[in-house]
């Protein structure tokens, strides 16, 4: 399976609260650096630096609109991360489904033993 992005970079990018907040804001729609900087007590260059990490990780993209460069979520990157987490969930489920069967066995044996008493 190809994820089309560097998952290491993507998860590292997510490991910062400011960057997660930026993603949460962009989930509501496109925004400029100015708009993104507003809710944070941070300089524009600091926000730009975070945006660069997010863009390099394939999670955010931009378009050029005159002098502005509005940012938005990179759908592909976000979906790839989602797929990856979904796969981890499935891997875990393999074990837990096996445990379900085992537990059903344990519970049944207990009932049998209880009935005999």
Partner 1 sequence: MSKMTLKTEGDTHVVVTRRFAAPPEAVYRAHTDPELIRQWMLGPEGWTMPVCICESKPGGKMRFEWTNGNGQGFYLTGECLEVVPNRRMVHVERMHLPDPTPDNHVEATFEPDGSGTLLTLRMTLPDAQTRAAMLSTGMEHGMEASYVRLEGILQPAAV
Question: With left for phi above 0 and alpha for psi between -120 and 50, is residue 89 left, alpha or beta?
Answer: alpha
**Tokens linked to 13:** 């990018």
In angstroms, the CA 92 to CA 77 distance is: 23
Cβ atoms < 10 Å from Cβ of 16: 13
Q: How many H helices and E strands in the chain? A: 5, 2
Specify the stretch interacting with partner 1 by CB under 8 A; choose among 10-18, 31-39, 60-68, 71-79. 10-18
CB 113, min distance to partner 1, A: 13
CB 99, min distance to partner 1, A: 4
Specify the stretch interacting with partner 1 by CB under 8 A; choose among 23-31, 39-47, 68-76, 89-97. 89-97
Q: Judged by CB under 8 A, does residue 14 bind partner 1?
A: yes
Q: Judged by CB under 8 A, does residue 89 bind partner 1?
A: yes
Using CB under 8 A, list all residues that contact partner 1.
1, 7-8, 10-12, 14-17, 84-85, 87-100, 102-104, 106-107
């Amino acid at each position: 399976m190809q994820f089309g992005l560097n998952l290491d970079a993507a998860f590292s990018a997510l490991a910062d609260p400011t960057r997660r907040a930026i993603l949460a804001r962009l989930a509501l729609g496109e925004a400029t650096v100015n708009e993104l900087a507003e809710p944070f007590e941070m300089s524009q260059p600091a926000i730009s630096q975070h945006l660069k990490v997010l863009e390099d990780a394939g999670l955010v993209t931009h378009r050029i609109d005159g002098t502005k460069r509005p940012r938005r979520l990179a759908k592909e990157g976000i979906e790839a991360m989602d797929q990856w987490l979904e796969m981890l969930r499935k891997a875990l489920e393999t074990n837990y489904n096996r445990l379900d069967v085992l537990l059903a066995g344990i519970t049944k044996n207990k009932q049998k033993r209880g009935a005999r008493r």
